[in-house]
Amino acid sequence: MMDRYSQMGVSAALNAWADAGLARDPERECLGGGVSWGTALGGIQTFEDGYRTVYLQRPPGRLSPLSVVLGMNNACASHIAMQLGLAGVCHTYSVACASSSTALGEGFRRVRSGECEVVVAGGSDATLAYSVLRAWQAMRVLADGDETTAVRACRPFHRQRQGLVLGEGGGALILEDWDRATARGARIYAELAGYGANGDHSHLVRPQQQGQVRALRMALADAGMAAAEVDHINAHGTATREGDPIEIAAICEAFGAHAANIAVNATKAAHGHLMGATGALEAIATVLALHHQTVPPTAHLDDPDPACAGVRHVMGAPLTDTPLRAALSNSFAFGGSNAVLAFRRCEAH
C-alpha cells in the first residue's frame, strides 16, 4: 500500500510523534494538527517498476491499480495524516533538495500564526532507483570511487572532493505551540525561531552566492537573531567542486568577521544526499547538536580546500568546548530555491 519513500516517511513521523509523548489515536480527529511534508521525487520507485512491467517484460505485465496513489507526491503526507488522525492542513512541498526544509519552515509558520497547534513536518525520498542513479551520473556530479575508497567518497570542503553520494530515508520533527508543549510537560529539544526562503532567479543548477546570503539574513531577521548569536551552521555541503566554496563565501558575507567563529559541518559526508529528505535529517542533526552541546565533525575532512576557508570547520573530532546558543541549517536546491532554518537552544524540558 506504500511506495518505499512513504514507508520511510511514515516510519519517521510515527517515531517522532511517539518521542514527543503524543497519543496516537487515528479514530479521534485532531482539527488543530497538520502535516507539512517534503519530497523531491515522490514515488519514483513505483513508476520505475511500472515502466519495467509494461515495457521491459515479455510479455508485458499488468500494472497495479494502486500505481497512481502509490506514486503521487502527496501520498506520504496523506498516510501520516490518516495514521495520526490529523485533520488540519496536509501539504506536500517539492522543492528539490530544499523540499523538507521548506516543509519545516512552512509548518513553523502555520504553528506561529495559530492555524495549527501541532504539525508533523519533515520529508522522505527513496532515490536509489536505477533510473535516478543513471540520471545523476549523467550530470557528472556523483563522487567516483572504487571499493577501497568508497567509504570516503563524499568529502565536503575537502581539497580533493569529487561530488555527492546519493542516500535515501526520512526524517520528521514535531512542531508545537510553545504554551501547549510546556503545559503538557513535553521534552523540548530546541526552539525553531526563524525561517528564510527565496529564489535566486539565476540558474537551474549553478548556486548563486547572493541568493544564499539573502536567505541567511532572512532567517536571522525572522528569528530576531543577531549574527553574533549563531555558533553553529549545518551546511548544505554537497562536496561538489563549485557548490562548497560558494556556500562558504555566502556565510562569510552574511556574517562578516563573526564567520570565523562559527562551527561549520556538513553531515552529508556521513549520511549522503537524501534529496527531498536531506533538509529534515540535517535539521534534526542541528537540533541535537544544540541539545547535546556537541557538533559532530565533517567526516573525511582532513585536508580543507583553501577556497573554503573563512569559517571554523569541525573536523577530526566532535566539537564540545564551545557553548552553542543558536544554529542554522542550510538547504540550497537546484532551481535556485534556498531555505534556511534558525534554531535556538532550549534549557532541558
Domains and CATH numbers, the chain: 4-183 (3.40.47.10), 190-345 (3.40.47.10)
Q: Mean pLDDT check: name the lowest of 49-58, 213-222, 331-340.
A: 49-58
CA angle 136, 80, 187 (to 5 degrees): 100
Q: For residue 69, what are the contacts with CB-CB under 8 A and spacing of at least 6? A: 75
Q: Mean pLDDT check: name the lowest of 1-5, 203-207, 221-225.
A: 203-207
CA angle 122, 239, 206 (to 5 degrees): 80
Cα-Cα-Cα-Cα torsion 172, 276, 215, 321, nearest 10 degrees, comes to 50
Percent pLDDT > 90 in the chain is 87
C-alpha cell, 89: 492542513
pLDDT score for 145: 73
Asked if the model's pLDDT at residue 151 lies above 90, the reply is: no
C-alpha cell, 3: 511506495
What's the average model confidence in pLDDT over 95-106?
98
CA angle 238, 243, 244 (to 5 degrees): 70
Percent pLDDT > 70 in the chain is 99
Whether the CB-CB separation of 98 and 333 falls below 8 Å is answered with: yes
Residue of 283 and 148 predicted with greater confidence: 283
C-alpha cell, 264: 561549520
Average pLDDT in the chain = 94
0.85 surpassed by pTM: yes
Asked if the model's pLDDT at residue 109 lies above 80, the reply is: yes
Residue 324 confidence class, pLDDT cut points 50, 70, 90: very high
Active site residue ranges:
97, 236, 273
Whether the CB-CB separation of 251 and 259 falls below 8 Å is answered with: yes
What's the average model confidence in pLDDT over 176-200?
96
pLDDT, tens digit, 9 for 90 and up, residues 261-311: 999 999 999 999 999 999 999 999 999 999 999 999 999 999 999 999 999
pLDDT score for 28: 78
Whether the CB-CB separation of 158 and 181 falls below 8 Å is answered with: no
Q: Is the dihedral of CA 138, 277, 244, 160 positive or negative?
A: negative
pLDDT score for 31: 82
C-alpha cell, 58: 515479455
Asked if the model's pLDDT at residue 349 lies above 60, the reply is: no
Whether the CB-CB separation of 296 and 289 falls below 8 Å is answered with: yes
How far apart, in whole angstroms, are the C-alpha atoms of residue 314 and residue 273?
19
pLDDT score for 348: 55
What's the average model confidence in pLDDT over 332-344?
96
What's the average model confidence in pLDDT over 202-214?
93
pLDDT score for 196: 98
Beta bridge partners of 264: 233, 313
pLDDT, tens digit, 9 for 90 and up, residues 18-58: 999 998 877 777 889 999 999 999 999 999 999 888 888 88
Residue 217 confidence class, pLDDT cut points 50, 70, 90: very high
Burial class (CB in 10 A: 0-12, 13-18, 19+), 53: middle
